[in-house]
Amino acid sequence: VAALIQSFIGHTAHKQALLAGLKSQQWPASFIFYGPDGVGKQTLVRALLQVANCEHSELACGVCSYCVRSLEERNELIIPLQPESKKVISVDQVREVHQQLSLRVVGDKRRFVLIDPADKLSPGAANALLKTLEEPPERTHFFLVTQRVSRLLPTLRSRSQVWGFTALSHEDMEVAGELDPVAIRWSGGSLSLAKWIQDGPGKEAIDHSLQLFYSLLCESPQDWKKNAPWFFSEDEQRELSFRIWSLALQQRAHGQNDNLEFLPADPGQLARIYESIQDLQKDVESHVDKQLALDHFYYQIREAQ
């Protein structure tokens, strides 16, 4: 058990401002926390729930029943709202939460509704949520967490206090402790990604990503499907590889990694490869045949060099 706010990594200005708002009773009914995956958005929500309800300490004691309950998956203090069937948050789920909110919380504690990822709210669910926000229950706060704020209804955005979170710095991640330099380097500022790399499976995934990047840059065109089957079938690994390639370009540009000498040294060429990666990503998202998309990428970066 722990007082999360006291060990919370990075985002110092956000943390201070949110704590100050809580102390002066100026919190709105709805917050949007947006930014990359794994930088601490949901952890901060849990940390704030502890601070809002702890009976013993201004920055949460970490041991009282309210601090402990703040970390539980769900109870009357924290109501999570996540996609269920069909990968969306349905209007029925929002109505169910609305019902739960009609019950008062014992001891006038603050109650959070944690909606993550909020971009999965169906249009109907988003509208139902808006209705709830028009007359929010007392001492209840909605936290809409997302990587893509542009996918939320503008009306939801305008009714919420919006906080953008950025990638963590290398310094922040060193404070987190026990992360090796390889994990930090390839995490792109995401603590959860760094831990995944550190723990093993991530290292292999990075090797696969870099091997394909190398073949695309340095070898003749090939049957990508045969040589990198994961690119065609494993969405998460593919998404990760786009991230890894972009980080590789950055590291090359700053001369931070001697193993990337297969990449050109010229910043202009690196920038063009970066743009090609973005094009490839767009192609894949819009369901262009992946073999064709990779071939196209292959010839595009050939022109860039």
Contacts with Zn ion by CB under 5 A lie at 54, 56, 61, 64, 67
> Closest approach of Cβ 47 to Zn ion, in Å?
12
Distance from CA of residue 137 to its chain's centroid? Answer: 28
With the C-alpha atoms ordered 96, 99, 101, 104, is the resulting torsion angle positive or negative? negative
Residue with Cβ nearer Zn ion (50 or 281): 50
10 Å CB burial of residue 207 (0-12, 13-18, 19+) is: exposed
Q: 264 phi and psi, to 5 degrees? A: -65, 155
E strand or H helix at 33: strand 30-34
Looking only at the bridges linking them, the beta strands covering 161-164 and 30-34 are parallel
Beta carbon of residue 212, minimum distance to Zn ion (angstroms, whole number) = 49
Given the complex with Zn ion, which of 70 and 209 has the nearer CB atom?
Answer: 70
| CA dist., res. 3 & res. 48, Å (int) | 10
CB nearer to Zn ion: pick between 61 and 105: 61
Report the nearest approach of Zn ion to the CB of residue 2 (Å).
11
Q: Which neighbouring-strand residues pair with 162?
A: 32
Q: Residue type at 216?
A: L
Distance spanning both ends of the chain, measured CA to CA: 54
d(CA 37, CA 16): 21
70/146 with CB nearer Zn ion: 70
E-strand ranges in 147-248 read 161-164
CB of 109 to Zn ion, least distance (A): 11
Task: Output 23 or 56, the one with its CB closest to Zn ion.
Answer: 56
Least distance from Zn ion to the Cβ atom of residue 68, Å: 8
Q: Which is nearer to Zn ion, 51 or 191 (CB)?
A: 51
Q: What minimum distance in Å lies between the beta carbon of 50 and Zn ion?
A: 6
